[in-house]
């Protein structure tokens, strides 16, 4: 299924039980021989425990072989209301844990805690915990394609890692920001979740928030190579991260 907008054409993934999932192929970049990022390499989504058994089968048909989980250790595993599949091993899929945050880090939580559902925290995350961001990018770049990268809502932590990956692959800032905005829209207006205030937002609240924050995303990704310098991502890892989305054989 194709989802189109003024600044993007992305492929929405309809895996049962799983909202806010997209193949990150099809976005424009001058670095790819096709002129777009390649499909079937990298997908984004929310917590994988929401996938039903049918959803896992659909993900397998898409080609998921590696999951990069950006959550903290206490967020792993099934919760009440999750489908039965959440408690079962996912055969044939390698799960790599690469958290981008540290809830025990005082400066991080003091600075970022109040804004963790906004891209306003991204530059602080990069500055305070560069090793965590680097670890997540290395995990994505060295994973066996197809890669599913996720956090909880698939919007904020996933948003940071995906935005940097897309920008490094040559996707223009406005297209990167539009992809992130789609996740905000996808995760709002569904079943209320106490841990996520945005889950209760209606369209007016969403668009007001995006009006304030889309420029923040564009600013971060417009400076992507300096961000990668800050986190200390080595040249070989930069190449592998880029090749995942633009090279014939990553």
pLDDT over 80 (residue 194): no
* pTM of the predicted protein model: 0.94
Please determine, for residue 249, whether its predicted confidence score (pLDDT) is greater than 80: no
What is the pLDDT averaged over residues 137-142? 98
pLDDT-based confidence at 202, cuts 50/70/90? very high
The residue extents of the domains of the chain are 2-246
CATH fold of 2-246? 3.90.190
Give the pLDDT of residue 192.
Answer: 75
Query: pLDDT tens, 173-190?
Result: 999 999 999 999 999 987
Residue 59 CA to residue 43 CA, distance in Å, equals 10
Using alpha carbons, list the distances in angstroms from residue 97 to 13, 138, 148, 165, 216.
23, 11, 12, 17, 27
CB neighbours of 126 closer than 8 A, spacing ≥ 6? 133, 227, 230, 231
Question: Which pLDDT value is given to residue 201?
Answer: 94
Confidence bin at 4 (pLDDT 50/70/90):
very low
């Amino acid at each position: 299924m194709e989802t189109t907008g003024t600044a993007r054409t992305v492929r929405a993934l309809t895996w049962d039980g799983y909202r806010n999932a997209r193949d990150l192929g099809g976005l424009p970049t001058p670095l790819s021989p096709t002129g777009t990022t390649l499909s079937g390499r990298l997908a984004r989504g929310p917590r994988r425990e929401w996938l039903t058994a049918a959803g896992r089968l659909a993900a397998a048909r898409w080609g998921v072989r590696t999951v990069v989980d950006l959550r903290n250790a206490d967020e792993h595993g099934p919760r009440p209301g999750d489908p039965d599949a959440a408690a079962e091993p996912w055969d044939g899929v390698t799960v790599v844990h690469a958290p981008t945050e540290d809830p025990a880090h005082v400066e991080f939580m003091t600075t970022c805690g109040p804004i963790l559902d906004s891209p306003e925290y991204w530059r602080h995350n990069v500055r305070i915990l560069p090793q965590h961001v680097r670890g997540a990018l290395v995990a994505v770049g060295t994973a066996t394609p197809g890669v599913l990268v996720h956090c909880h809502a698939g919007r904020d932590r996933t948003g940071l890692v995906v935005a940097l990956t897309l920008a490094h692959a040559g996707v223009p800032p406005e297209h990167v920001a539009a992809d992130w905005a789609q996740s905000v829209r996808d995760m709002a207006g569904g079943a209320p979740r106490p841990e996520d205030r945005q889950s209760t937002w209606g369209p007016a609240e969403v668009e007001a928030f995006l009006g304030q924050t889309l420029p923040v995303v564009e600013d971060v990704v417009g400076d992507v190579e300096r961000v990668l310098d800050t986190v200390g991502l080595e040249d070989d890892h930069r190449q592998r991260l880029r090749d995942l989305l633009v090279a014939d054989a990553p």
